Amino acid sequence: MKELSVNHLLGIKYITKEDIQLIFETADHFKEVINRPIKKVPSLRDITIANLFFENSTRTRLSFELAEKRLSADVINFSAASSSVKKGETLIDTVNNILSMKVDMVVMRHPNPGAGVFLSKHINSSIINAGDGAHEHPTQALLDCFSIREKLGKVAGKKVVIVGDILHSRVALSNIFALQKLGAKVKVCGPKTLIPKYIEKLGVEVEGNLIKALEWCDVANMLRVQNERMDISYFPTTREYAQQFGLTKKILDSLNKEIVVMHPGPINRGVEITSDVADSKQAIILDQVQNGVAIRMAVIYLLASKIKHHED
C-alpha cells in the first residue's frame, strides 16, 4: 500500500516523483467521483479543516473549499481582512487559537515566502500551502501537470514553456519543480526584468523571443502579469508587454504544430493572451479549474489518511 512521504504539502520541492504519481492516481478516482450525480464521498466526515487566507484569493479558496466539502470534511474559513491579524496578533497565536478548536488540517495562503514551512515547525496539524508569497503554490503545479498528463497522455519528455512574470510567480517556481520531477523539459520566456537572475541554476533555459519559445514547446503556460506585486516598473507599458509576450490567435495559427495553451487564472484578456486564444480549443484553462478540485481532494485525502485516529 502506498502513502505520501510527507505529512504536509509545503511545496513541490519537498515531495518526490512517487508522491506526485500517487496524487495523480488518486485524483483520477476523484475526477470520476465529481462527475457522478452525487459528487460527495463520506471519507473525511470526522476531519475539520481550517482555510486560513492571509492574502486574497477567489478560485484557489473556492476550489479548496469545494474539495473539502466533497470529501465531507467540516470546514471553517478565515480571511485576514476581517480578523485580529489587523489588531497585531502573530501567525502562531492566530493558528494556535484556531487549532484549539480541534482542527485537524490547515490550508494556508500567506504573503510571506516560507510561512507554511515556519508554521509546520510550530504546530502539529497537517498543513497545505495554498501559496506563500513568490515562493510556491504546489497544488496549482500539480493540477497543471495533471492537466498536461490528461491532454497529452504523459508529462515525461514534453516541452513546456512558462511565459510572463517569472520573478513574482509562485506558480512558475512550483511548476518548474513539478515538471522537472516528472521528466519534462522547461523553458521560461518573458521580459529580462521579470526573469530571476539565478533561474538557470534550476536547469531552466531562458528564451527572450516568444515565437521561438512557442516553436519549441508542446505546452505554453501563460502566466498573469501580477501588477499588484510590482513595486517598480518592470516594463514600459502593458501594451508593449502584450505586443512582445502576448499570445494571439494569429501567432498560434502561424505555428507549424498545435500546442496546448494553459493559464492559471485570473486572465487579463488582451494582455498575456487574447480572448480568442483563451476561448479556443487549444486552451485547457477550464479543464485546469475542474482538475484543481480533483487534485485538491487527492492531496487532502492522502494527507488526512496519515492523521492518526484517536478515540477522544
Partner 1 sequence: MTPEQDSETSMSQKVLLNATEINIALHRLSCQLIENHDTFENTVLIGIQPRGIFLAERLKDVLQKEYKIKKVQLGYLDITFYRDDFRRSGKPLEANTTKIDFIVEDKKVVFIDDVLYTGRSIRSALTAIQSFGRPLEIELLTLIDRRFSRHLPIQPDYRGRQVDAINYEKVKVCWKENDGEDAVYLIEK
Does 42 participate in binding partner 1 (rule CB under 8 A)? yes
Output phi, psi for 64, to 5 deg: -65, -45
59 is catalytic: yes
109 is catalytic: yes
24-32, 118-126, 185-193, 211-219 -> range binding partner 1 (CB under 8 A): 24-32
**What mask of x and - would describe binding to partner 1 in positions 288 to 307, judged by CB under 8 A?**
-------------xx-xxxx
Choice between 28 and 287, CB closer to partner 1:
28
33-41, 49-57, 107-115, 209-217 -> range binding partner 1 (CB under 8 A): 33-41
Burial 25-56 (b: 16+ CB within 10 A, else e): ebbeebbebbeeeeeebebbeebbbbbbbbbe
The Cα–Cα gap between 242 and 282 comes to: 20
State which of positions 58-87 bind partner 1 (CB under 8 A).
Answer: 71
Instruction: Confirm or deny that 70 is annotated as ligand binding.
Output: no
Choice between 37 and 236, CB closer to partner 1:
37
The residue annotated as part of the active site, out of 59, 61, 159, 249, is 59
Please provide the distance, in angstroms rounded to a whole number, between the alpha carbons at the two ends of the chain. 27
Q: Please give the DSSP secondary-structure letter assigned to residue 71.
A: T
Does 41 participate in binding partner 1 (rule CB under 8 A)? yes
31-39, 131-139, 206-214, 228-236 -> range binding partner 1 (CB under 8 A): 31-39
296 is catalytic: no
DSSP string, 178-223: HHHHTT-EEEEES-GGGS-TTGGGGT-EEE--HHHHHHH-SEEEE-
For residue 242, the tally of other CB atoms under 10 A from its CB is 18
- Amino acid identity, position 277: V
Q: Which residues are catalytic?
A: 59-60, 87, 109, 137
Residue list, annotated binding site for L-aspartate: 87, 170, 224
